[in-house]
Amino acid sequence: MKPSHIARDGSIAMVDVSRKRVSVRVACAEAFVRMSPAAKAALRAATLPKGDALVAAQVAGIMAAKQTAALIPLTHPLPLDGVDVRFDWQQDLLRVEAEARTAARTGVEMEAMVGASIAALTIYDMAKALDKSITIESVRLVRKSGGKSGRWTRK
């Protein structure tokens, strides 16, 4: 299979989606943030030195998803109809979930991935004073729908 971002002459190219149909597309990505018990307690109590990290990370993830085309060179600028960033604790890990939605000719997987990544990085930035060993793990696509390839869910 020919890589989609390689032109006939071997140069890189943005995929031409002008002939694709517009469809509703949704993608959900996740990242996991591992931290010390002290950082976790401060994050949960919203007592970090810089303020409420979850609120800051939620806003950062939404803003980042909207800037994906400026960050990832061959992505298409997309009119996002919605972006949600949510958090839940899974034992000692904070799960960051970002979901992006649009009606467009190409998918929003990268927007969801960027949203989850930047939200996780914001958690690190907000909590690093308490724990410099924070680790961001497993940034990945969870599910997507829409377009020619339809639904896909990570197993």
- Provide the annotated active-site residues: 125
User: CA-CA distance, 33 to 125, in Å (whole number)?
Assistant: 12
Judge whether 15 and 81 are in contact, CB under 8 Å: no
Tokens of 13: 């190219």
User: CA-CA distance, 31 to 87, in Å (whole number)?
Assistant: 10
Counting beta carbons within 10 angstroms of the beta carbon of residue 37, is it exposed (0 to 12), middle (13 to 18) or buried (19 or more)? exposed
Which residues, other chains included, contact 22 with Cβ-Cβ below 8 Å and sequence gap of 6+? 103, 104, 105
Which residues, other chains included, contact 19 with Cβ-Cβ below 8 Å and sequence gap of 6+? none
Q: What is the CB neighbour count within 10 angstroms for residue 65?
A: 30
